[in-house]
């Protein structure tokens, strides 16, 4: 398998990002060729202050490393350091249909929440994402549930290109984790946990123990008091149990047993302890990385060099096949 994935530096990384994406990546890098990207060009689709974008880009890289990505095992790089991403996106734009881009849920949602800035980049976002993936012949793309539709589009664009210009791209597959592919907001179990959602809805990987306790304490629960996993009848609690399960490694029945007859209050205290313990070493490593931005930038430059070598080779082939004089 060849793995590609990325996170956009558009906010603080939260438990949903970790559970849906990063957790898979750390496991995959031990056995597969992996590239993990900080997709800064994607972050530009929402208006962002330049100084903030620079900081979030470094923080996202530091988070990758803090969560266990290892530059010796994976290629870690910044999207804008490898110009072929944008170049291939342009070429794929000539194959992508306006009608199919109009169907993208993320575009529809972002247009609704940001009506004053429905820019062409926001519309084109999934084509750039397809370019990210196809440039490296990635066979598998580990992401959360919300990206499934974008992966489908990448697959369709690869097939379309191959059928018009001859076999050029690998048709990639999404890797959506069986559990935790859609972690819901703590303050609203009907909405997914999001970087841009309300503060009480997400737990940032950098939240302090006090903040974590407060957020979990005020998390919405369901009626009743039994700690039971039942996504239909107890969606809020099932979300919290999923987080507990994936951070502690304890099975869901073991968690139910542990809190039998103890009520939501005890369970929330337990979940806070599990989360704080889990995040402690990540936060320590994150601070170390952010304390030495020079070292971080050297890792990212080395990654960009490795990625550029692969991307340039692929672009050569794309240009030949499409009739551009390379």
Write out the catalytic residue numbers: 110, 192, 195
Is 181 an interacting residue with respect to ligand AMP (CB under 6 A)?
yes
Between helices 263-290 and 209-217, what is the axis angle to 10°?
Answer: 150
CB 71 within 8 A of CB 39: no
Question: In angstroms, how far is CA 203 from the centroid of its own chain?
Answer: 15
Q: Facing residues of 272 across strands?
A: none
Q: Please name the residues in contact with 182: beta carbons below 8 A apart, sequence gap of 6 or more.
A: 16, 20, 144, 145, 146, 192
Q: Contacts with ligand AMP in 113-152 (CB under 6 A)?
A: 143-144, 146-147
Query: Helix, strand, or coil here: 178?
Result: coil
Nearer to ligand TRP, 132 or 187 (CB): 132
Residue ranges in contact with ligand TRP by CB under 6 A: 4-6, 8, 39, 42, 129, 132-133, 141, 143, 147, 150
Report the residue from 3, 17, 124, 286 that binds ligand AMP according to the rule CB under 6 A: 17
Name beta bridge partners: 142.
175
Q: Judged by CB under 6 A, how many residues of this single chain contact ligand AMP?
A: 17
DSSP code of residue 204: B
Residue 246 near which of ligand TRP, ligand AMP, none (CB within 5-8 Å, type-dependent): none
> For residues 183-242, which are near ligand AMP according to CB under 6 A?
183, 192-193, 195
Give the C-alpha separation, 198 to 235, whole Å.
19
Phi, psi of 204 (to 5 degrees): -75, 150
Residue carrying structure tokens 């590239």 = 35
Give how far the C-alpha of residue 45 lies from the chain's centroid of Cα atoms, to the nearest Å. Answer: 16
**183 contacts which partner out of ligand AMP, ligand TRP, none, CB within 5 to 8 A by kind?**
ligand AMP
Q: Cα separations (Å) of 86 from 39, 125, 219, 286, 308?
A: 11, 11, 41, 30, 13
DSSP per-residue letters across 56-108: HHHHHHHHHHHTT--TTTEEEEEGGGSTHHHHHHHHHHTTS-HHHHTT-HHHH
Per partner kind, with CB cut-offs from 5 to 8 A, the member of ligand TRP, ligand AMP, none near residue 181 is ligand AMP
Residue among 143 and 241 whose Cβ is closer to ligand TRP: 143
**Judged by CB, which is closer to ligand TRP: 138, or 246?**
138
Owner of token pair 């929330």? 268
Quote the least distance from Cβ 104 to ligand AMP, whole Å. 13
Picked from ligand AMP, ligand TRP, none, the partner binding residue 9 (CB below 5 to 8 A depending on kind) is none
Residue nearest to ligand TRP (CB): 129
Position closest to ligand AMP via CB: 20
Shortest distance (Å) from residue 261 CB to ligand TRP? 40
* Minimum distance from residue 146 beta carbon to ligand AMP (Å): 5
Report what 270 binds from ligand AMP, ligand TRP, none; CB cut-off 5-8 Å by kind: none
Residues engaged in binding ligand AMP (CB under 6 A) = 7-8, 16-17, 19-21, 143-144, 146-147, 181-183, 192-193, 195
């Amino acid at each position: 398998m060849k793995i590609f994935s990325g996170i956009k530096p558009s906010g603080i990384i939260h438990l949903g990002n970790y559970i849906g994406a990063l957790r898979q990546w750390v496991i995959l890098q031990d056995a597969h060729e992996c590239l993990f990207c900080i997709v800064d060009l994607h972050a530009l689709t929402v208006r962002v202050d330049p100084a903030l974008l620079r900081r979030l880009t470094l923080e996202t890289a530091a988070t990758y490393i803090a969560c266990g990505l290892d530059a010796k095992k994976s290629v870690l790089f910044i999207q804008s350091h490898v110009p072929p991403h944008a170049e291939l996106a342009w070429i794929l734009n000539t194959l992508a249909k306006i009608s199919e881009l109009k169907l993208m849920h993320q575009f529809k949602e972002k247009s609704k929440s940001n009506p004053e800035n429905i820019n062409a980049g926001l519309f084109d976002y999934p084509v750039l994402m397809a370019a990210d993936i196809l440039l490296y012949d990635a066979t598998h793309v580990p992401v959360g549930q919300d990206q499934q539709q974008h992966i489908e589009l990448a697959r369709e664009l690869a097939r379309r290109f191959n059928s018009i210009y001859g076999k050029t791209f690998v048709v990639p597959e999404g890797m959506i984790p069986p559990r935790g592919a859609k972690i819901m907001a703590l303050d609203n179990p009907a909405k997914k946990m999001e970087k841009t959602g309300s503060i009480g809805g997400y737990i940032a990987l950098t939240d302090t123990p006090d903040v974590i306790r407060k957020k979990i304490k005020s998390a919405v629960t369901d009626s009743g008091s039994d700690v039971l996993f039942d996504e239909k009848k107890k969606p809020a609690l099932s979300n919290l149990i999923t987080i507990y399960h994936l951070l502690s490694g304890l099975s869901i029945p073991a968690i139910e047993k542990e809190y039998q007859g103890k009520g939501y209050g005890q369970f929330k205290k337990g979940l806070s302890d599990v989360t704080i313990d889990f995040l402690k070493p990540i936060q320590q490593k994150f601070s170390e990385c952010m304390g030495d931005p020079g070292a971080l930038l050297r890792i990212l430059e080395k990654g960009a060099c490795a990625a550029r070598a692969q991307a340039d080779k692929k672009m050569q082939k794309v240009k030949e096949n499409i009739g551009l004089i390379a």
